[in-house]
Amino acid sequence: MERGGTEKWRVEHDSMGEMRVPADRYWGAQTQRSFQNFVIGTEKMPREIIEAFAVLKKAAAMTNEKLSRMDARRAELIAQVCDEILAGKLDGNFPLAVWQTGSGTQSNMNVNEVIAGRGNEIAGEKLLHPNDSVNMSQSSNDTFPTAMHIAAVTVLEERLLPSLEALADTMRRLEEENRGVVKSGRTHLQDAVPIAFSQEISGWRAMLETCGEMIRDSEKGLYRLALGGTAVGTGLNAPAGFAEGVAETVAQLTGRPFVTEENKFHALTAKDALVYSHGALKALAANLMKIANDVRWLASGPRCGLGEILIPENEPGSSIMPGKVNPTQCEAVTMVAVQVMGNDAAVGFAASQGNFELNVFMPVLIYNYLQSAVLLADAMDSFNRNCVSGIRANREKMHENLHRSLMLVTALNPYIGYENAARCAKKAHKENISLKEACVQLGYLTAERFDEVFHPEEMIG
């Protein structure tokens, strides 16, 4: 079958023969073959990968020129078109599905063909060939893993880490605002000894900060680039100095410390750096799941739940129960966390399937990685903006719950011992009386001595 949004065509050719290609697109025969042969799903190669390809193709052309493999005019044409791709001027020319060849060859050729087609249009003559010019000194087997690393670092630095830091900043503000507010702690979903609300928030804040450290640490492996290994890691058809030169140029273009991977056989077949990095994303997802669940538990109610915090009321919560409002931002965050945890399984399994000199599960791996990073960034932005920034302590409810907690009896351990304190708690619970009444009735302390030693607000350390 033929796919295309136009009835106007032009004829292109590749090593397998001629193909009709939409006249208003810059791609060539190999892209068209993939477009027609892989009508699978709706998932397209992520834009982040296309932009990463533009960076590496520009860097490759500049390096080939420095090494006297390419003339200045061709190198400048390639660089000019790559800049157009990065500026979004050629959107609509990258139609290929994620579900294609596992090496990503067809997306590499899609970028090569678009650069050649647009470059030749600018030049007014056919100066660029997709393989001989744009793909010079390269193979799909080293360009696609290079694009994966560039895209992963870019999405972490430009999307995820800023969103994480913004949410952590909000937690820092809430922490300061709630110093001195004491509430009941909880373990095993049961009452525990008191905690300051600021201490509870500090736990959330530290969870985010720790994940940020883990994610930044994982970037070290992503900075190492496969480019220069060509087909199987030997560097066939790449000139001496190309691998080092192109990594240096990518670093200059992006402002990030990319370097060439020393062992290209590892770079082509192993995807452990992405697995490691996605593990840090999974850790963030796990912590966001915990934080969002804490928030919705603490906000549960408004009358029959804990009700210790108030969160923004953003939309009606029920189509049948008037006035109901739900913790929808928390639910969105936890669904994203579930997706990221599922993606982690896909990333790990894809990385485990490399055979001999090449991993051929790369498109699905990077699709899941980038989806996780983007979802987490967007979810944190939404959670921060529409929920966390508006959290307010319900101090009256916190005070009430604190003073009803039987676990305050822990403060009496130094005075009456663990077993006697346990008897007080059980008696108070069974007879629905206060800890003070139970302690006095059991003869462990006088009322006056109880008041001297029992100060719940001072139990937070």
Q: Mean pLDDT check: name the lowest of 223-232, 318-327, 328-337, 394-403.
A: 318-327
Give 21's DSSP letter. E
CB-based contact 390:327 (threshold 8 Å) = no
Architecture of domain 147-226+262-395 in this structure: Up-down Bundle (1.20)
Least confident of 11-20, 216-225, 230-239, 244-253: 11-20
Contact predicate 12/28, CB 8 Å? yes
Helix (H, G, I), strand (E, B) or coil at 444: coil
Which of 158, 57, 144, 155 lies closest to 96, judged by CA?
Answer: 144
CB atoms within 10 A of CB 289: 19
Q: How far apart are CA 460 and CA 260, in angstroms?
A: 52
If DSSP codes are grouped into helix, strand and coil, which group holds residue 164?
helix
**What average pLDDT does range 43-62 have in this prediction?**
98
16 C-beta neighbours (distance < 10 Å), count = 9
Of 388, 431, 284, the C-alpha closest to 343 is: 284
List, in sequence order, the alpha helices (H) in 67-104: 72-86
Bridge-based pairing of strands 224-225 and 259-260 is parallel
Pick the closest to residue 131 from 233, 211, 30 (CA basis).
30
The three-class DSSP label of residue 45 is: coil
State how beta strands 309-310 and 9-14 pair: unpaired
For the cut 80, the answer to whether the pLDDT of residue 18 exceeds it is yes
Q: What is the mean pLDDT of residues 106-117?
A: 98
Tokens linked to 391:
């959290």
Q: Range(s) for CATH 1.10.40.30 in the chain?
A: 405-458
Residue 217: partners with Cβ closer than 8 Å, 6 or more residues away: 280
Residue positions annotated with a catalytic role:
188, 318
Q: Is the pLDDT of residue 4 over 60?
A: no
Domain at 9-136: CATH architecture: Orthogonal Bundle (1.10)
Reply yes or no on whether the pLDDT at 375 is more than 60.
yes
Q: Where in the chain is the domain with CATH 1.10.275.10?
A: 9-136
DSSP state of 196: E
CATH 1.20.200.10 segments of the chain: 147-226+262-395
Tokens representing 258 are 């990319």
- Dist. CA 35–CA 13, nearest whole Å: 15
What's the token pair of residue 317? Answer: 């919560």
pLDDT at residue 2 tops 70:
no
Tokens coding 66: 């420095």
- Given a contact cutoff of 8 angstroms between Cβ atoms, the answer to whether 163 and 428 are in contact is no
Tokens standing for residue 293: 């669940």
CB 403 within 8 A of CB 434: no
Q: What is the structure's pLDDT at 440?
A: 97
The beta strands (E) that lie in 238-281 are given as 259-260
Phi, psi values for residue 198, rounded to 5°:
-65, -35
Rounded to two decimals, the pTM is 0.95
> 405-458 belongs to which CATH class?
mainly alpha
pLDDT of residue 354: 83
Residues 6+ apart with CB under 8 A from 13: 19, 29
What is the C-alpha radius of gyration for the chain, rounded to an integer number of angstroms?
30
pLDDT tens digits, residue range 345-373? 999 999 999 899 999 999 999 999 999 99
Which tokens go with 149? 């690393």
